[in-house]
Structure 1
Amino acid sequence: MKNDNVKMQVDSTQFIWDKNEGLFTFDGAPALLFWDAAIEVFLETMEEVSGKEASKTVYEATGYRMGTLVSDYYEGRTDVENLLEEYRDIYRNAGWGKFKVISYSFEEKRAVIRLTNSWEHRIFKDKNKDHAGVLLPSHWAGVFTGIFNENMWYRINQSQLNGHEYDEVEIFPSDITPANNIHELAREKEQQNIMELERKVEERTGELTSLIKELSSPVIPVLEDILVIPMVGKFNENRLSDLMEKAMVELSRHKAKFLLIDFTGIKNFDNYTVHKIHQLTHAIRLLGGTCYLVGISSELSIHITNSDMDLRGIQTFSTLQQGVEHAIVQCGFELVRKKDNKTKHKFY
């Protein structure tokens, strides 16, 4: 059978193409060949999916884990200087660009390397990427993590993307890890989501509060000189303060003489509410108006009596209709019944 394997030796690196199986091996390990443009699409897709804010962390985690994978492949080697020379040939022959170890100390667990014409620089040099130039530095942090057998991280001292002749990357021991960065990013995103949710809740609460203020206890002009405020639901300090302010403003604006406070819709009544209503009746009196308390049920009557509220000078009615009819008469109007037995207002 014809041997369709094609082999090529470049320095210490061996490339083999198995045309029958469609396989390519790089130093004995299955490998792939990609155009720079394909890698660019791959990275841009990662950024698109993860978002610009998270892309740096994604690139760093990817590069770091690729680096630890490389160091695992050469695990057990103690001839570090020879190993770094092999790395130089491998990366150069694979089209990753050139790298040079400027300084190296196994005792201090530190190294400085310089990269020129790296694939990351080739791809991003014209793209104006904010997070470009972090994948390969984090990759070397992963490589040296395996060499030094200690967690390493990186610092970029110079970058070709900033106009320097080469990328200079300093590798040093650190507590920083991609896993920590991912967790920190997740917490940051979670906090951002929480803050956004709180903002929306606060905004919605403000809208609902404003709506409640508009709908709560509206001041209704019934006839000339007569206003009615229906009390509905449970009143707290804020609602009662809004009620008093609105009542006095509307009485002055309409130049009304009578304000009827309708308790028909009130089921629960506490002493604080009784006290504030008492204050309102006196405030209306100071403005030259008169307050009627209408819709007084037997339970409410007992509660008001037990509260020791001074009702002297305040007229009360069991129904709103009775209060309105009385106020109409006090305003000089007369209710007359037409022949068809329908009540109408007759004004004099």
Structure 2
Amino acid sequence: MREITLIPGDGIGPEITEAVKAIFSAANVPVTWEEENAGQTTFDSIGELIPSTLIASLKKNKVALKGPITTPVGKGFKSINVQLRQMFDLYSNVRPAKTTPGVNTRFENVNLVLFRENTEGLYSGLEMFDERLQISDSVARLTRVGCRKIIRAAFEYANKHNCKKVTAVHKANILKSAGALFLSEASEIAKEYPHIQYDDKIIDNMCMQLVIKPEQFDVIVTTNLFGDILSDLCAGLVGGLGVVSGANIGNDMAIFEAVHGSAPDIAGQGKANPTALLRSAIMMLHHIDLKEEANRIETALDATLANREQCTGDLGGNASTMEFAQHIISKL
């Protein structure tokens, strides 16, 4: 029995978390949950955004499932997600985007995975403001080690999953130092995987290519800011943030999360779609080698998504959050 840290979050987080727990219970998944929380909820109750008990749980269990978390706005607090990623060196943000029968989109046959460097770049926190000149500077810091880690993670994933191509996305034509460093490391590491096709794309061209012919891409690897933008773009190709999974993975810890917001406007109303968190939980099961359970739940989820009447309102159905979960359970 594997113990997992569970972070329900706030807004719709607790509702979609309960739905995932119910599905896991019905599927007899051999995990137990150690619940801890973070964000606005813990700040209001104990004055801490990231409680020490959560940090201790993460260090002990090494794997977590996280719902959407609100960072208090306008009070100078750094993003909780960014803090957790940097605290535990979760350098690899992995975001699959795959077409799902029943989820209507403008595209067919999309099946790609984006690897976003998670701890460096423009999100390094290196910001300065000159009061006298009224000039703000944000530094995009890349390290050779950081580039190597995320690029190798992308190639290793492609190798393990028999993917045909890895595409490195950059802006080396303008960012002569940072962009060139990332691109040169990608070119060198690609030589170690001669059976995998490698190419690179400038970020603006990549955005255009993704909305013209997304099926040409397989595994994409890029820096922090570009990855933040592209991951949402890729989600839009397959139905939006409500149906895609996400993971933050380091060498010895992984946090799987719903990548959408906490949607406080519908919290407590039973309207929330738990698909994104459930798919992240399925990724988590693969990560801890519970592949049979992962495949059973994924098959039941896909069968439910194919029946629009059994889906939540955002997907064109009439089901509540827990009714949707029960439809999945009935197909296990």
Structure of greater relative contact order (alpha carbons < 8 Å, 6+ residues apart): 2
- Give the structure-2-normalised TM-score: 0.25
Q: Which has the larger radius of gyration?
A: 1
- Give the structure-1-normalised TM-score: 0.24
